[in-house]
Amino acid sequence: MNLQILELFSGIGGMNYAFKESGIPGQIVAAVDINTNANAVYTYNNRQTTVLNNNVQKLNLKTLEKLQINCILMSPPCQPHTRVGHKKDIEDNRSHGLMHICSLLPECTFVRYILMENVKGFEGSLAHSQYIKALRKAGFYYREFILSPTQLNIPNTRYRYYCLARRDKNFPFEGEHIWTEIPTIKQHQKCINTIKNILESDNLLSADFLVDQRTLDRRVLLMDIVTSNSTNTMCFTKAYAYYIEGTGSIFCPLKPEQMHQIFEKLKHLDNGNSSKENQALERRELLQSLHLRYFTPREVARLMGFPETFNFPLEITNRQKYKLLGNSINVQLVSELIKVLCLQE
């Protein structure tokens, strides 16, 4: 078996790296995305792959036949199925690309394998119903999952929906429900385990990554703060470092007991006899002593399984990097699923 892959909604190339990590023979024939920043990053790291700056809806059967593909890897926009995206489902314009692929699938008799990723919650949508209907109509057998990288001992919670589809019945496990584990995995050889293994050296960090005083004053109690020995982080979203609550974890370089002592002092600060001016000054000093900072784009990329060779072009800003990473996939988890997808008959 030699996979000839079309990568749809390709972003910064997470599926490409996952495929390489899987060790399955083949190549990415082409990648398609409409985001120019994402395409710039993809091309910067994968110059041998044809990247089409195009809307997926413009693809037709003739184009797909010409590419001579037998596999599709795709991560359609998740915004139609998220709270922030107002859950417009198939009424959201960003769902139209997936719906277009659904309309093409019954005619794509040359495609043997499909892996699709989306946000947790997609499984209850109308878009999901139409996608599954299209798979059945096209003669695919499929298995569904809700998985997080933490199940591979990677310290990052990122629950996502995955669907593996192939034209034969030979999955090694039944498909009557959505799996919350990968049944074929017995142990995990590659483990990050704790945060300290993904941290950049302090001398490589700039003050730009420190949480500013205004944010500390207003939002410190809403932050998910982790230390170097922590074994988990929140899901990093595209709004990381722009909004605080629910967009990703904040790093504290102190030992946990030191951090807790400072928070205890902050908790009891208002009960003292000092003037409000002195209390404000002491509070500011205590907050600054935490040395709280955002995870760098490199650290987020490491948590998401991207290799050290992965880089961003110089013109991509940190805010754009976080946005692009937040829209991508966990490379290591998807690589395991590609192995399952391609188990030999």
Written as one letter, the residue type at 65 is: E
DSSP 279-336: HHHHHHHHHHHT--EEPPHHHHHHHTT--TT----TTS-HHHHHHHHHTS--HHHHHH
Phi-psi region of 248 (alpha: psi -120 to 50; beta: other; left: phi over 0): left
> What CA–CA distance (Å, rounded) separates 237 from 219?
18
> What CA–CA distance (Å, rounded) separates 158 from 178?
17
Q: Are 158 and 118 in contact (CB under 8 A)?
A: no
Beta strands 160-166 and 113-119 are antiparallel
Phi-psi region of 105 (alpha: psi -120 to 50; beta: other; left: phi over 0): alpha
Q: State the catalytic residue, choosing from 78, 102, 163, 235.
A: 78
Question: Is 163 in the active site?
Answer: no
DSSP reduced 3-state for 114: strand
Active site residues: 78
